Amino acid sequence: MPIDYSKWDKIELSDDSDIEVHPNVDKASFIRWKQQDIHEKRHQRNIEIKSILIQLTMYAKLNERVDYLLNNLTANELLDSKIVLNKLNEQFDKFEKFNYEKLKNEKGDSLRKGLKDLQFDSEEVENTPCYNEMIEDLFIQIKDDHPQAKSDGNKLIEYLREHRNKIDDVLSKQTIKLDELLYQKSMLISSEDIHTGFDRSFLNKKDDIEEQPPVPVAPPSTSTKKTVTTTETINAPSTTTPQKPKSDQEMLEELELLPATETFSKIPYTEITESADYLIKHPYICTEQQKDALIMTAFDAQLESNSSLCKQIIHQSLLLQYISQLAGAEHPTTDQTIRAVKLFCSKVAEMGSPARQGFLQDVENTFKHIESRCQVIIAEQAANAQEEGNGQEELIQLRALDENTQLSVNIPKEGTTEYEIFKTKLPKEFQEAVKSQSLDEVNKQFAKLKVEDAEQILEVFNECGVIGISGYLEDEQLKLLNFFLILSLVVLVVVPDQSQVQEQQQQESQIPSTDIVD
């Protein structure tokens, strides 16, 4: 593993061997001058940083007090200095002033790195005035500069708001300057950066990290091996064929959602810490493949009109995507993935951070895209269903096509095997239709059934002899008709438009045929 020496680039001055000076210049003196210049610039930079920090903290406290007075006092009450001072002392500590140690305790880990090692003298802190006194001085200054504000409360409010806007402008400019100074400070290593490191360390136990479940491998072939003699030649053509690009169907089949990923998708998206802990224990699910597999379930949720579940799944799937990309390598190690989880989740958990805002905006954009796509899919499904509903439907109906024949509905005699089949196998609706001895009533019942169910009813009709044929005088013709009735009792009839029915009847009237069940 190569050694990274980049951290030494921040050393501004090293030993004597790194310094090259003009022969007429004393090298030791030059080094001392250089060191003195570095210390002076560093000291001046720290003074500016401390001054800006005091200024930013002070202005934030002053704005807080001014906003409180404007929201809780009327225009006439603001003209009375005693009322203003009493109101401030009731709400805020009248002795509160800048306190660096208190600021460090309040900010904790959120305090920026370049502000944690500052050293304030007692005089620097003691010489700062109390915040309530500064508000009192502000009112006096406004009234002295603008005499009309002494008697007109609305004018006083106007000047207070104007002064507050100026403070906001100063805050924005000083914040930019502080960022620049802290950046310059971070570019170089100084003795102030040397501090006690970690007194203890935390290591992820291997027991806490679940291994990726093994992928089932096809068993080795048990076929007999044959010994083949081959002759190798120089520059022989390759026997391997290039892999064909995978089709969309093959790619979809590879999107297998792991149980651990499904469990992760159910963690509330507001619980970033819980999600991070789960990913640290299951780092193998932080892949693009699992993200794609999980995002497919978001489509299913939105198609079921469950928008809240859809957004929940999108949030968790994008977490997997961002962490996978942050891990860097195509096949990152477990340690790389865990570092990416800790880094990204800490940024997302930080309220107001650019990383959090950008991530949530991506979640919202993805949800809108899926929502619009699902609307299109639902509309297409509805259109297809309507087309199928308006299309032709297959039915089974009983009728005679030859004018010389007629189908009759017969009730089997009681006590016979046919009657027993009639009573036990036929539904009550068909029993009632047969008892009416009307072919139209029987056809009405067939119209309510699907083709598969109607075929079963026709088989029962054959067994109990419900359908009879009349109109033939010769026995041979009657036997032949019964034969066709048994073999082709089931005929599918497509019910088309009325014009198609008339055309079909005209064609059938020209062709003589035996009685069939259609």
Same domain, 297 and 418: no
> Cα(71)–Cα(64) distance, rounded to whole angstroms?
11
Do residues 185 and 257 make contact, with C-beta atoms less than 8 angstroms apart? Answer: no
Whether pLDDT at 219 is above 50: no
Same domain, 374 and 423: no
- What does the pLDDT read at residue 497? 45
Whether pLDDT at 258 is above 60: yes
- What does the pLDDT read at residue 511? 45
Nearest CA to 323 out of 293, 354, 288, 278 is that of 288
Whether pLDDT at 189 is above 70: no
Structural domain contains residue 358: yes
- What does the pLDDT read at residue 363? 92
Same domain, 298 and 438: no
Whether pLDDT at 15 is above 70: no
Same domain, 366 and 463: no
Mean pLDDT is lowest, of 162-166, 321-325, 390-394, 511-515, for 511-515
Same domain, 342 and 410: no
Same domain, 81 and 178: yes
Whether pLDDT at 16 is above 60: no
Same domain, 330 and 441: no
Structural domain contains residue 460: yes
More confident residue, 203 or 307: 307
Instruction: Report pLDDT digits (tens) over 326-352.
Output: 887 677 888 888 888 888 888 888 887
| Bridge partner residues of 407 (DSSP) | 469
- C-alpha dihedral, 209 to 210 to 215 to 220, nearest 10°: 90
The C-alpha angle with vertex 230 and arms to 224 and 235, in degrees rounded to 5, equals 135
Same domain, 48 and 129: yes
Whether pLDDT at 376 is above 50: yes
Whether pLDDT at 248 is above 60: no
Instruction: Report pLDDT digits (tens) over 85-111.
Output: 888 888 888 888 888 888 888 877 777
Structural domain contains residue 95: yes
Please state whether beta strands 467-470 and 406-409 pair in parallel, antiparallel, or not at all (unpaired).
antiparallel
Structural domain contains residue 203: no
- Determine the structural domain holding residue 54 and report its residue range: 27-191
- What does the pLDDT read at residue 24? 82
The total number of structural domains in the chain stands at: 3
Structural domain contains residue 197: no
How buried is 340 (Cβ within 10 angstroms: 0-12 exposed, 13-18 middle, 19+ buried)? buried
Give the residue-averaged pLDDT of 120-148: 84
Structural domain contains residue 359: yes
Structural domain contains residue 210: no
Instruction: Give the 3-state secondary structure of 245-301.
Output: CCCHHHHHHHCCCCHHHHHHHCCCCCCHHHHHHHHHHCHHHCCHHHHHHHHHHHHHH
Nearest CA to 342 out of 292, 275, 290 is that of 275
More confident residue, 35 or 201: 35
Amino acid at 42: R
Instruction: Identify the CATH number of the domain in which residue 261 sits.
Output: 1.20.58.610
Same domain, 311 and 403: no
Structural domain contains residue 67: yes
Give the residue-averaged pLDDT of 63-90: 86
Same domain, 54 and 148: yes
Same domain, 158 and 31: yes
Same domain, 179 and 35: yes
Average pLDDT, the chain: 75
- What does the pLDDT read at residue 400? 66
